[in-house]
Amino acid sequence: MKKHINSALVLALSLVSGSLLAANNMNDMNNNQMGEVDQDNNGSVSKTEFERHIGDRFFGKMDRNSDGMIDESEFSGTRFGSKLSELDRDGDSRLTKAELYNGLFETFDTNRDMVLDKDEWKKVQSAGISH
């Protein structure tokens, strides 16, 4: 008897996860936000694709005094979950474009495989970096 209940439960669960998967796939098709970024369509975002996507517009938005560097006051208020000092390679307390992009990429590439997969990309989006 107990076995019956268990297998019914398993069946129910697999039906649920099956429809969740289907919903996810639908989501990907209808709302594939990675699509425009993932230019070679391999399901992940490379560093080049990342830089190209966030591009000059994003940097320009952050660089409010347009001196080509991001300083502490320009950096504060962002939702990157990292500090300026963590991204500042040369320790001058300001970020160049390269420091910002490299640093952000490394911050979001949590499994360090040098590409951003879907889950990692979601974090980029929720940090407000993607547009």
Measured CA to CA, the distance from residue 90 to residue 79 in angstroms comes to: 22
Q: Which is nearer to Ca ion, 11 or 119 (CB)?
A: 119
Residues 42-81 that bind Ca ion (CB under 5 A): 63, 65, 67, 69
Residue 94: what residue type? R
Q: How far is the CB of 16 from Ca ion (least distance, A)?
A: 29
CB atoms within 10 A of CB 10: 10
User: Which SS3 state, helix, strand or coil, does residue 40 take?
Assistant: coil
Q: How far is the CB of 54 from Ca ion (least distance, A)?
A: 16
Find out whether 94 and 70 touch, Cβ atoms under 8 Å: yes
- Does position 111 bind Ca ion by CB under 5 A? yes
Note the residues at the interface with Ca ion (CB under 5 A): 63, 65, 67, 69, 88, 90, 92, 99, 109, 111, 113, 120
